[in-house]
C-alpha cells in the first residue's frame, strides 16, 4: 500500500512499541504532526521547549529501560535538542530523536530554519541519519532503534526533510531485522580471561567492586549480588550505579569519588584487587589516576572496548555485556570470606562520620533529604538536577532497587531534573516521582511544570532555595578566595509561580514543617512545588579536589572525625 513518509514513520514507531513521545512542532516537521491524529495509540506530549523533549525522553528511557523518543523541527528546534542528546550520550541512554529538515532541494542553501543537525550531533550520537530517499525510512527507523538499545546504549538522530515526509511511496511493512552487517555491539566472553579473573578474585585479600550504570543497563543486579555474597566482596556504587546493589546490604559501601563517602575512598586506596563493573573510571571517581587504587590489581568488565585502560590502566579486561561476563565468572569464583577486610571498612565508617547530622536551627538540605528518604523508604523514583543538591541526594538516599535514582552524570546538565522527572513519571504512572531541584537549575527548565499540569503528570518537585548556584559558590569559596562572581541571584516566589502554573505550591522555612509538607504533597493528585528555604552557605562534604587523592580528602569540619 502507498503511504506518505510521515505515515511510514508512525507505522514504524507503532511497530517498535512506542507508546509516548515528547516534542514540539514547527514548519519542517509539520507533515509528521498533521499525521499524528491517525495514530491515537501513540501519545504525544507537547513540551514548552525542545530541550525538555530530549530530557523527558531521557528520563523515560532511564526509568523504564525502553527507548525514549523526542521530536523537533529543523534549525533551532533541532539544535535545542542538542543538550539533551549530549546528556543521553554521556550516560549511555537509548533515545531516538526525530527532526524535520528543509526540503531536499533547499538543503545547503541556507534556507529558512536550516541547520546541519547531523553534522552538529555527529560527536554526541551513536549514529545519525539524513533520509534522502523516502523508501529507506522503514530500514532507517529499524536501524535507529536497534543501534540505540543494543551494546552500549545511546542516542540516535533521524533527520527527515519535509518533502520526504510528504512523498507517497509503497510501504511493504516494518523490517523484522536491521541490516547492519558491520555492527557487532557485543563481543563474546573469552573463557580463558574469565578463568584468570576468577583466580585473581580467589587470591585477593582486600577485594572491592565498583559497580556503575552498566550493571543497571544490563539488568545484572542479581548476578552482581551473587558475586559479592559468594566471595564476600564489598561493593561501591558510582553516582550512576546507585541502585545496582542494595543500599542496605551489609556489603554495600556507598558512593566513591569527589563527594563520595570517606570510607569508600579509603577502601579503594587500601584494596589489593579492584573490579570495575560497567563503569568507566570517570575523573570524578578516580581523582589523580596515578594514585587511584595504586595498591590494587585491576579487572575491568565493560561492553565498550574503547573504555579499557582509557583513564586507568587495568591488568585484565573482560569486554562483553556485564550479564554475560558475570554469568560466566560467578560459577568459577570460589566461596570466600574476608572478615578482617569487611571489619576494616566498618571501622572506617565509625571513624569518619562525615555524613552524620548536626543539630542546627537552620533548615539544611541534608535534613530535608534524610527525612524524604525515610518517608519514601526507597519506594519512589528520585530525579535530581546537578550541583550540591544532587550530591546530597546521592549521599542520603538509600535505594534497594535499580533505576530509582536518575541524574545527569557525565555531562552535568543543570535543569535536567524537571523534564527528566516528567519523563520518568510518564513511564512509571503508578510510582511516585520526586524531583530534587536546585533553585538555579529549576529556573532553567521550569516551563515544563506547565506541561505537567496540562497532562496531569503528578511529579513532586522539591526546590532547595538558597539564592545561589551552590556548587559554584562552594568552589569560589575554596579555590577563588571567596570571590562570589555571578553565583548569587534573585529567585521568584515559587509558591505564586506554582499557582500561576495551576499546581499546588508550599513554602517550608522551619524543620517541623518538612515532614507535613511531604505528606501534603503525596496526598495531592497532581504536580506539587515544595519551596524549601534553606541556608545559603552550606558545603558538600566529603570533598576531594579535582585531580586529588585520599591525602587531599576534606571532611566536614563541623563533624567530629577520628582520622584513620
Catalytic residue (one of 14, 34, 106, 113): 113
Report the C-alpha gap between 429 and 449 in whole angstroms.
17
Instruction: Report CA 28 to chain centroid distance, whole Å.
Output: 31
CA distance to 27, 106, 204, 248, 384, per residue, from 208 (Å):
55, 58, 9, 17, 28
If we measure between CA atoms, which residue out of 488, 527, 531 comes closest to residue 504?
Answer: 527
C-alpha cell at 293: 587504587
471-478 own/partner pairs: CB under 8 Å, 24+ apart: 471/386, 471/387, 471/388, 471/391, 471/540, 472/387, 473/537, 474/388, 474/539, 474/540, 477/539, 478/539, 478/543, 478/545
Query: Each residue of 68-82: pLDDT tens digit?
Result: 999 999 999 999 999
Please, is 110 exposed, middle or buried when counting C-beta atoms within 10 Å of its C-beta (0-12, 13-18, 19+)? exposed
Contact call for residues 100 and 74 (beta carbons, < 8 A): yes
Q: What is the pLDDT of residues 302-350, one digit of tens each?
A: 999 999 999 999 999 999 999 999 999 999 999 999 999 999 999 999 9
> pLDDT digit string (tens) for 173-232?
999 999 898 888 888 999 999 999 999 999 999 999 999 999 999 999 999 999 999 999
Q: Cα–Cα distances in Å, from 541 out to 113, 259, 353, 366, 447?
A: 47, 6, 11, 11, 32
Q: How far apart are CA 91 and CA 242, in angstroms?
A: 13
The pLDDT value recorded for residue 558 is 78
496 in active site: no
Starting at the earlier edge strand, list the strands of the sheet with 273-277: 252-254, 235-237, 207-211, 273-277, 297-302, 316-319
Q: 564 pLDDT exceeds 60? A: no
Mean pLDDT of 78-103: 98
Q: What is the pTM of this model?
A: 0.97
Res 557 pLDDT > 90? no
Catalytic residue among 50, 167, 193, 417: 50
Gap between the Cα atoms of 158 and 81, Å rounded = 12
Q: What are phi and psi for residue 508, nearest 5 degrees?
A: -125, 125
Could you report the per-residue pLDDT of 476-490, keeping only the tens digit for each? 999 999 999 999 999
Strand arrangement of the beta sheet that strand 127-130 belongs to: 43-46, 20-23, 68-72, 95-101, 156-161, 127-130
Q: Are 10 and 35 in contact (CB under 8 A)?
A: yes
**Catalytic site includes residue 225:** no
**CA-CA distance, 109 to 94, in Å (whole number)?**
33
Task: Give the pLDDT confidence score for residue 179 in this predicted structure.
Answer: 87
3-state secondary structure of 159: strand
Give me the mean pLDDT over the 375-380 stretch.
90
Cis omega (within 30 of 0) for bond into 542: yes
Report pLDDT for 560.
53
Here the cell at position 392 is 546530597
pLDDT of 358 over the 90 cut: no
Of the candidates 59, 41, 63, the residue with the CA atom closest to the CA atom of residue 51: 59
Dihedral through CA 275, CA 276, CA 282, CA 283, nearest 10?
A: 0
Find the helix or strand (DSSP H, E) in which 507 lies. strand 504-508
Residue with cell 517541623: 512
Looking at 162, 298, 460, 504, which residue is catalytic? Answer: 162
% of the chain exceeding 90 in pLDDT:
94
Grid coordinates 536551627 are at which residue? 361
- How far apart CA 361 and CA 34 sit, in angstroms, is 57
- Per-residue pLDDT of 502-555, as tens digits, reads 999 999 999 999 999 999 999 999 999 999 999 999 999 999 999 999 999 999
163 Cβ partners below 8 Å, 6+ apart?
103, 104, 105
Nearest CA to 362 among 517, 537, 495, 493?
537
Structural domains in the chain, CATH included, are 2-170 (3.40.50.970), 191-351 (3.40.50.1220), 365-546 (3.40.50.970)
Task: List the beta strands (DSSP E) in 278-395.
Answer: 297-302, 316-319, 381-384
pLDDT confidence band for 25 (50 / 70 / 90): very high
Q: Determine whether 112 is an active site residue.
A: yes
CB count within 10 Å of CB 279 equals 26
Has 471 been annotated as catalytic?
yes
Long-range contacts formed by 228-231: CB under 8 A, 24+ apart: 230/330, 230/333, 230/335, 230/336, 231/201, 231/202, 231/207, 231/333, 231/334, 231/335, 231/336
Residues 219-245: tens digit of each pLDDT? 999 999 999 999 999 999 999 999 999
User: Catalytic pick from 307, 471, 494, 501?
Assistant: 471
What is the reported pLDDT for 379?
Answer: 87
Give residue 556's pLDDT band: very low, low, confident or very high (50, 70, 90): confident
Query: What mean pLDDT is reported for the chain?
Result: 96
| 97 or 360, higher pLDDT | 97
3-state SS record for 385-410? CCCHHHHHHHHHCCCCCCCCEECCCC
Predicted pLDDT at 182: 82
Q: What is the pLDDT of residue 559?
A: 73
Q: Which pLDDT value is given to residue 209?
A: 98
Please say whether the dihedral angle defined by the alpha carbons of residues 362, 399, 45 and 111, taken in this order, is positive or negative: positive
Reply yes or no on whether the pLDDT at 356 is more than 90.
Answer: no
Q: What is the mean pLDDT of residues 395-413?
A: 96
β 2-4/168-170 pair status: antiparallel
Say whether 474 is catalytic: no
- Residues 256 and 267: their CA atoms lie apart, in Å, by 9
Residue 247 CB contacts under 8 Å (≥ 6 apart), including other chains: 378, 397, 398, 399, 400
Residue 562 has pLDDT above 50, yes or no: no
Question: Mind listing the pLDDT tens digit for each residue in 30-39?
Answer: 999 999 999 9
Judge whether residue 357 has pLDDT over 80. Answer: no
Q: Residue 150: helix, strand or coil by DSSP?
A: coil
- Pairing type for strands 95-101 and 156-161 reads parallel
What is the structure's pLDDT at 154?
A: 98
Amino acid at each position: 500500500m502507498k503511504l506518505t513518509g510521515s505515515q511510514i514513520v508512525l507505522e514504524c514507531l507503532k511497530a517498535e512499541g512506542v507508546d509516548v513521545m515528547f516534542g514540539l512542532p514547527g514548519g519542517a516537521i509539520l507533515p509528521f504532526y498533521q499525521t499524528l491524529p491517525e495514530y491515537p495509540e501513540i501519545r504525544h506530549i507537547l513540551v514548552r521547549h525542545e530541550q525538555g523533549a530530549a530530557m523527558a525522553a531521557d528520563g523515560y528511557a532511564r526509568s523504564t529501560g525502553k527507548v525514549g523518543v523526542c521530536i523537533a523541527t529543523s534549525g533551532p528546534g533541532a539544535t535545542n535538542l542538542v543538550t539533551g542528546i549530549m546528556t543521553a550520550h554521556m550516560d549511555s541512554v537509548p533515545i531516538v530523536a526525530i527532526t524535520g529538515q528543509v526540503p531536499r532541494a533547499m538543503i545547503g542553501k541556507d534556507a529558512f530554519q536550516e541547520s546541519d543537525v547531523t553534522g552538529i550531533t555527529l560527536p554526541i550520537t551513536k549514529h545519525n541519519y539524513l533520509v534522502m530517499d523516502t523508501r529507506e525510512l522503514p530500514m532507517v527507523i529499524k536501524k535507529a532503534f536497534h543501534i540505540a538499545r543494543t551494546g552500549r546504549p545511546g542516542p540516535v538522530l533521524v533527520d527527515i526533510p519535509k518533502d520526504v515526509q510528504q512523498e507517497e511511496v509503497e510501504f511493504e511493512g516494518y523490517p523484522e531485522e536491521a541490516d547492519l552487517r558491520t555492527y557487532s555491539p557485543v563481543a563474546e566472553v573469552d573463557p580463558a580471561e574469565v578463568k584468570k579473573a576468577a583466580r585473581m578474585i580467589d587470591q585477593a585479600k582486600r577485594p572491592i567492586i565498583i559497580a556503575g550504570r552498566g550493571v543497571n543497563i544490563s539488568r545484572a543486579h542479581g548476578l552482581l549480588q551473587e558475586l559479592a555474597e559468594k566471595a564476600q566482596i564489598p561493593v561501591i556504587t558510582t553516582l550512576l550505579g546507585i541502585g545496582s546493589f542494595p543500599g542496605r546490604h551489609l556489603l554495600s559501601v556507598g558512593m566513591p569519588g569527589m563527594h563520595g563517602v570517606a570510607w569508600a575512598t579509603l577502601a579503594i586506596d587500601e584494596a589489593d584487587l579492584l573490579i570495575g563493573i560497567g563503569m568507566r573510571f570517570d575523573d570524578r571517581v578516580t581523582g589523580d589516576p596515578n594514585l587511584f587504587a595504586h595498591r590494587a590489581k585491576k579487572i575491568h568488565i565493560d561492553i565498550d572496548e574503547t573504555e579499557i585502560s582509557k583513564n586507568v590502566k587495568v591488568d585484565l579486561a573482560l569486554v562483553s555485556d556485564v550479564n554475560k561476563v558475570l554469568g560466566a565468572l560467578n560459577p568459577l569464583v570460589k566461596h570466600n570470606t574476608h572478615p578482617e577486610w569487611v571489619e576494616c571498612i566498618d571501622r572506617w565508617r565509625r571513624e569518619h562520620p562525615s555524613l552524620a547530622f548536626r543539630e542546627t536551627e537552620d533548615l539544611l538540605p541534608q535534613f530535608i533529604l534524610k527525612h524524604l528518604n525515610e518517608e519514601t523508604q526507597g519506594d519512589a523514583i528520585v530525579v535530581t538536577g546537578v550541583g550540591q543538591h544532587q550530591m546530597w541526594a546521592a549521599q542520603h538516599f538509600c535505594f534497594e532497587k535499580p533505576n530509582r535514582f536518575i541524574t545527569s552524570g557525565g555531562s552535568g546538565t543543570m535543569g535536567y531534573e524537571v523534564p527528566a522527572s516528567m519523563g520518568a513519571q510518564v513511564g512509571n504512572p503508578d510510582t511516585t516521582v520526586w524531583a530534587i531541584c536546585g533553585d538555579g537549575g529549576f529556573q532553567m527548565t521550569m516551563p515544563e511544570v506547565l506541561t505537567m499540569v496540562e497532562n496531569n503528570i503528578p511529579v513532586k518537585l522539591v526546590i532547595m532555595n538558597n539564592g545561589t548556584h551552590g556548587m559554584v559558590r562552594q568552589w569560589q569559596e575554596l579555590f577563588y578566595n571567596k570571590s562570589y562572581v555571578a553565583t548569587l541571584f534573585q529567585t521568584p516566589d515559587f509558591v505564586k509561580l506554582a499557582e500561576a502554573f495551576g499546581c499546588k505550591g508550599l513554602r517550608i522555612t522551619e524543620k517541623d514543617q518538612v515532614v507535613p509538607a511531604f505528606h501534603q504533597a503525596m496526598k495531592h493528585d497532581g504536580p506539587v512545588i515544595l519551596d524549601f528555604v534553606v541556608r545559603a552557605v552550606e558545603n558538600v562534604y566529603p570533598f576531594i579536589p579535582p585531580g586529588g587523592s585520599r591525602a587531599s580528602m576534606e571532611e566536614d569540619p563541623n563533624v567530629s572525625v577520628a582520622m584513620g
